[in-house]
Amino acid sequence: MLEPQDRIRFEQLVLPHLDSATNLARWLLRNRADSDDLVQEAMLRAYRFFDRFHGGDARAWLLQIVRNTCYTWLEKNRPSELMTEFNEEVHQRPSATPESLAAQADERQRLMLALESLSPRFREVLVLRELEGCSYKEIGEITGIPIGTVMSTLSRARERLQRTMTAAAKEVS
């Protein structure tokens, strides 16, 4: 078990990032029920491994654990999602065809589905950059993507999301 002063540090440094953990897991797993369970598991893991945290960016450290927990779960429960990663053309979930997207009355719903239709690798860089405001360095730290390729991964992810949204917009008009 941790020493009392470490427990206080954990409370001050790691717990405030529960929202960030929740957000990343929700987008990686595409649903809230599973992601809350996994965030809970990740918080436990973070607590157990807290002696391995040697200062620095606590949010990135926690999100790395959350991400690993989610990927382990995906490998076990939805391996097909990970197998299609980066295979952009194959990876198009039926729920995110231009037609089904266009059928969504509001743009927010369309955007959510479009984001969910991306492979987990693209989805996570977008979520980390655009929703979480992470720097490239932090994204590299969390996802294990070499810092030099964060920019190009993000660029492809944005292009993919734009294309999906444009296709849906054409269906609407």
- Which residues sit at the interface with another protein, rule CB under 8 A? 1-2, 7-8, 10-13, 15-23, 26-27, 32, 36-41, 43-44, 47-48, 59, 107-108, 111-112, 115, 126, 129-136, 151-152, 154-155, 158-159, 161-162, 165
Nearest CB to another protein, comparing residues 83 and 151: 151
Nearest CB to another protein, comparing residues 52 and 108: 108
Burial of 67 (0-12, 13-18, 19+ CB in 10 A): buried
Nearest CB to another protein, comparing residues 73 and 83: 73
Rounded Cα–Cα distance for residues 92 and 95 (Å): 8
Rounded Cα–Cα distance for residues 74 and 81 (Å): 8
Minimum distance of another protein from residue 37's CB (angstroms): 4
Neighbours of 57 (CB within 10 A): 18
Q: Tell me the HSE value of 23 on the side-chain side, using a 13 A CA sphere.
A: 15
Minimum distance of another protein from residue 148's CB (angstroms): 11
